[in-house]
Amino acid sequence: MTDQTTPVSEDDLHAYVDGYLDTDRQREVEAWLGANPDAAAMVADWQRQNADIRGLFAGRAEPRADDAAIVLKSRAAAARGPAPGLPRVWQAAAAVLLFIGGAFAGQLAPSILPGERQPALQSAAALPDQSHSAFLIYASDVRHPVEVGADEQQHLAAWLGKRLDTPLHIPDLTGVGLKLVGGRLVPVSGKAGALLMYEDDAGERVTILLGRNEENRETSFRYASDAGLETFYWIDGPIGYAVTGEISRERLQQVADECYRQFET
């Protein structure tokens, strides 16, 4: 029978559910639950909730040696009483939110910790910025805008395709009023990428940036604009594409649509 000088508290019940009671206290709580069916039903419900949460986050669980100490420290703080004005039901809800928030933080942490790989979403978001930079650096160059000219298109496709580790078909954009100037090797997210350059009869240039990332996830067309510089970009398999130019959004979309169609073939 439970010692009347040590009544069973709600903290005892939570500790029982989480497995943090010593053997003697566990027996006392079990005996008390046997005499209090309502409390026993509540505890059984908590145990089911714990099982559901563990199942939901099983693939992300990373047990640590100090987990038990953290929980016990939290229980000691709870024993000092609830925060003023904060009902116990809201404390429980806050604990659940912190738990879930921590799980999602674990998923997002690689994007902010140095030395970790960039996630796919961050990689996709970087495409327009890198395409903008490449356009500004090379499109205005009069004498050396490209490394390999349009007269060596076959060599250009083989060279850049080898560096990207994918067969590269250079789009024919004459149907949208652009002719190939040539291309060059450029860095994209720290890896070898390709830059193709086209121009129209008025000398307006458009660039196509291609970068490879094995962690990419496919995206539909996205659009970015920065001080009159327009970019359409998308990801198809491991390759990201970004079409950039200082032309109208409507015309650039026509170019991007044609590029997408030809890169698919």
List the domain boundaries for the chain. 10-81, 120-264
**What would the mean pLDDT of 29-41 be, rounded to a whole number?**
86
Residue 76, pLDDT > 80, answer: no
Residue 148, pLDDT > 80, answer: yes
Q: What is the pLDDT of residues 196-226, one digit of tens each?
A: 999 999 999 999 999 988 776 667 778 888 8
pTM of the model: 0.55
Q: Specify the pLDDT at position 107.
A: 42
Q: Specify the pLDDT at position 139.
A: 92
C-alpha distances out from residue 256 to 73, 89, 181, 245, Å: 58, 54, 17, 11
Q: Specify the pLDDT at position 237.
A: 84
Backbone angles phi, psi at 86, to 5 degrees: -115, 100
Percent pLDDT > 90 in the chain is 38
**What would the mean pLDDT of 107-125 be, rounded to a whole number?**
44
Closest Cα partner for 245 from 129, 139, 170? 139
DSSP 147: S
Spatial strand order of the sheet with 205-212 comes to 148-149, 179-188, 191-199, 205-212, 239-245, 229-236, 219-226
138-144: long-range pairs with CB below 8 Å, 24+: 138/184, 138/195, 138/197, 138/207, 139/197, 139/205, 139/207
Buried b (16+ CB within 10 A) or exposed e, 112-147: eeeeeebebeebbebbbebbbebbeebbeeeeebbb
Q: Which CATH architecture has domain 120-264?
A: 2-Layer Sandwich (3.30)
